[in-house]
Amino acid sequence: MNKLLFFAGMLLALCCTSCRKNEHNLYPVSGKVRYKGAPAAGAAVFFNRQNRESLNEHLVMAVVQQDGSFELVCGPWGKGAPPGQYDVLIEWKPVVAQLNGNPQRGPDKLNGRYADASRPLLHATVEAKKNELPSFELSD
């Protein structure tokens, strides 16, 4: 019985240490997205780490706020992103209707131009510090 309790305690301790934010090396990342000079409110921003297998990476993304600003979130680990070089993809599908309380989105206002992972147009570097990125200025 004592061995079982000891084992359960050790397992719990290991689980708790894996929940720490610092263990995932996340650093705050914020920026702005503008389209033709205006905030791209509601656009989704995705950061894909370069030279990594995407299946083993957590989703790093943000939604652009009314003022054009965004803050990245890394999957279940919280705010921020691991340091590295990233391809940046942006998709802007505005809500056009509500169906049973669920937003129905229209086509990408950017026509997929900034959402092609095989030919990313935007890139960013996340450093091991607080990151305020230059504004992403989008056009047709």
Q: What is the pLDDT of residue 3?
A: 36
Instruction: Indicate the pairing of strand 136-138 with strand 29-35.
Output: parallel
For range 55-65, the mean pLDDT: 83
Residue 31: CB atoms within 10 Å = 20
Residue range 81-99, pLDDT digits in tens: 999 999 999 999 998 898 9
What structural domains and CATH numbers belong to the chain?
A: 21-138 (2.60.40.10)
pTM (2 decimals)?
Answer: 0.78
Dist CA 106 CA 93 (whole Å): 5
For range 30-56, the mean pLDDT: 89
> Is the pLDDT score of 18 beyond 50?
no
**What pairs with residue 63 in β-bridges?**
44
Would you state the structure tokens that stand for residue 36, as one six-digit string?
Answer: 């033709």
Largest CA distance in the chain: 68
Dist CA 88 CA 46 (whole Å): 6
